[in-house]
Amino acid sequence: MKLFRKLDPVPLLCAAALSSAGIAVIWSATRGSAYAGLPSRQGYWLLVAFAAFFLGYFADRRHLERGAYVFFGGVLAILIALLAVGKVSAGVQRWVHFGGLNFQPSELAKIALILALARYFSRLKTKPPYGLEEISIPLLMVAGLALPVALQPDLGSGLLLGLISVPIFFFAGIRRSAVLVLGLGAAAAAPSLFFSLKEYQQNRILNFLNPERDPLGTGYHVVQSKIAIGSGGMFGKGFQQGTQSQLRFIPEQHTDFIFSVLAEEFGFVGVVLVLGLVLFLTLYLLGYLEYAKTKFAVLVVVGLSCAFAIQTSINIAMAAGLLPVVGLPLPLMSYGGSSLVVTFLGFGIVAGYRRRR
């Protein structure tokens, strides 16, 4: 009971509020369709997510650090095995099926990568800033997890693993020359990467550059999403009153494009409230740096907080046509138990550092 009395309820309440709003929007997006049962399933996942939060909250921080590489290796092994035996859904092989539920191991890869990078930099004997020699192993870690995820194929999650490592590298300390070399290398590799993508992935990039090139085909997602967002106006059309969502013009509107449904039904005001809560939650999580007394703790708090903010930003930018469609859910709000549980688990790990002050 003493441990519970030290619990800071703010991140848990914020996450619960966003998740509850997400269930309401999922309910509206799936009403009268074959997916009408998804809101109740998301509610069950939310209960599991609460348990995951307390699992992360009470986890011994020494065990988190000591077991970081083991956890990383376990997740990597699962991702590799998934390419051969994973459940195929919607053309991708990214699911583990057990007990009537599907779980996406690539979600766990985010926490595994953050913990492994934090352990590496916290045990590094040389002092920052680090050059290419010191960061070569962390770069291999990122590539090791991102590659099997991208081969599922899930290019969005693979790129996300690379992006969430960026704030960890900067907080750990990296030389400007190393940043320049990596940036130039990425720019030089971009054309080759583009031509190695599948045709539908190439079309997503081309549609981002010119959304009107195929508005009834490969560009349909973004065009309909932007129409929904723009038609919401200041106060929205009302709950379950959005024409784009209720007439099913928005593809994947309960997962990747749930932001479009939110914007159409609740308008600019609803969007500002949700984004304001997301910003508050992100800054509040970063505030736990006050209780992070080791380099490992600092990097874990930064990594988990920024991972939430980065994925949220990418999803919203994707729905608004500001980034190519990459198939990433909106954390806490999109339908999907894997994302919900892992996000709560990460919040619990961050909140647990206050318990150990």
Contact between 260 and 319 (Cβ < 8 Å): yes
Give the whole-number percent of the chain exceeding pLDDT 90: 53
Query: pLDDT tens digit string along 126-151?
Result: 888 899 889 999 999 999 999 988 88
Give the per-residue pLDDT at 191: 79
Q: Has residue 3 been placed in a domain?
A: no
6-10, 235-239, 276-280, 288-292, range with the lowest pLDDT: 6-10
Residue 17 within any structural domain of the chain: yes
Choose between 264 and 35: higher pLDDT. 264
Does residue 91 form part of some domain? yes
Distance CA 257, CA 228 (A): 10
Q: Residue range 256-273: average pLDDT? A: 94
pLDDT value, residue 94: 61
**Position 2, amino acid:** K
d(CA 172, CA 151): 29
Of 28, 123, 108, nearest to 73 (Cα)? 108
In a domain? residue 275: yes
Is residue 223 predicted with pLDDT exceeding 80?
A: yes
- Per the domain annotation, does 1 fall within a domain? no
Extract the tokens encoding 119.
């352990």
High-pLDDT (> 70) share of the chain, %: 91
- Integer Cα distance of 261 and 318 in angstroms: 14
**Domain-embedded: residue 138:** yes
The answer to whether the beta carbons of residues 325 and 221 sit under 8 Å apart is yes
Contact predicate 329/336, CB 8 Å: yes
Assess contact for 237 and 248: CB atoms under 8 A. no
pLDDT of residue 324: 85
Q: Is residue 110 part of a domain?
A: yes
Contact residues for 284 (Cβ-Cβ < 8 A; gap 6+): 10, 11, 14
Tell me if 92 is assigned to some domain.
yes
Contact 111/285 with Cβ under 8 angstroms? no
State the average pLDDT over residues 112-132: 92
Average pLDDT, the chain: 87
**Does the pLDDT at position 192 exceed 90?**
no
Question: Domain span at residue 203?
Answer: 10-355
Could you give the CA distance from residue 1 to residue 286 in angstroms, rounded to a whole number? 26
Residue 97: per-residue pLDDT: 64
For the chain, what is the domain count? 1
Where does the pLDDT of residue 274 fall: very low under 50, low under 70, confident under 90, or very high at 90 and above? very high
Strands (E) in the chain, as ranges, are 87-89, 92-98, 101-103
